[in-house]
Amino acid sequence: MFEFVWSVASFVIALGILVAVHEWGHFWVARRCGVKVEKFSIGFGKAFWRKTDKHGTEFVLAVIPLGGYVKMLDERVEQVAEEDLPHAFNRQHVLKRIAIIAAGPLVNFIFAIFALFVMYLIGLQTIKPVVGNIEPESILSASLIPAKATLVQVGERKVTDWEDVNYELMSHIGNEQLTLKWTENNHPIVKSAKVDISQWKFDPDKESPLSSLGLTPFRPEVSNTLGYVQENSAAEKIGLLADDKILRIDGTSMQNWEQIVSHVVAKPNESIQIDVLRNNQNVRLEGLVGSRELSSKEQGSEVSSQAVVGYMGFTPRYEAWPEGMVFIHQYGLSQALGKALDKTWRLMTLSIEMLGKLLTGDVSVKNLSGPIAIAQGAGMSASSGLVYFLSFLALISVNLGIINLLPLPVLDGGHLLYYFIELLSGRPVPDSVQEVGFKIGGFVLLLLMSVAIFNDIARL
């Protein structure tokens, strides 16, 4: 329950920030173009807070936090007093109207730069993209990349951590070839390979881009020693403690953590006998294994065909990361700004590339995510700390800006399309044509949102 409330709260905060940023862009430019702004609302529905400034603009916070809007004086919406006509939006030169509409998405991109700039100033802990292993007979097995190799380039772009690698792999969906470059044993010589990925099939509901290609990132060894025992869990009821080393389960020697997990998963609500090493003494514990229901996504995987599996509520202790593998992206003012600009630009180009692949069919509509997935992402990033939440805000802000620039008449991009036609032709697009466009755009947007929400529900 707490996780749900946390995700919803994080989503509301994130959406409120991004909507406020977007609408502020429209508002700020409208004011400077001499347009009268009647209302600036964050949220829809009944207002729970409102204030009117000296210019007559009403600022509102409403109860439904799923968007916002800026209401400008406009003859197309309502009758305007003659003295206010010079301040009506529709009376402005087309270039001013273009500037006002374009300001929303533009400020989203500027905010992404700001969020990433702050993130790089604070410092983001990350992990070098060191290969754990490549699965035999997988797509990447032809690359002959050895274990412990460090990836330094994917396609045409250099990579420094696994996030970079994932982004660049996503950009190659639908391509025929993938070029990878790497180094070995900290040696400066860079090796490379071209891999045929024409048969690459990636299902985001079941796997990551890395696992679909057969690559497993390097991780420290998992020990049989418990690092954490959940409160009120089956493990705690049996008497297990942090720092206990599991030796045997039901008389079978446990050689690794995977063996422990397999044994527990197969025994939901059954009795179990566990021998542990505690303070250099052997201790035997007995009790019942707990249980949990698998999600629909987990049931569809190859992990288990059971709907209910055994669950203990403990996690292992990991060996330490090798020196230099964990590092922090932290920079001074100028370098942080440069990094933020580069990352924002890459997020923008990647978003456009993915939209293009969606239209060509290289990317399935199953990849679309809606508010539920965004809420989950907001909750997870907020739980991880401020820098991760800033990174999440930057990603969503860029996507919000790109989506709003799509040439659908109900979006900013659709309005811009009409205004550019007016700029080139010298006369506005007829109202009847605009009305048809709004209906078509609304239908397409509703269809996309329905698919995205359906995907969200299917992933639960």
Instruction: Write out the catalytic residue numbers.
Output: 23
Tokens encoding 365: 């509509």
d(CA 326, CA 321): 7
157 DSSP β-pair partners: 154
Q: Is the dihedral of CA 308, 243, 224, 277 positive or negative?
A: negative
Contact criterion met (CB below 8 Å) for 169 and 149: no
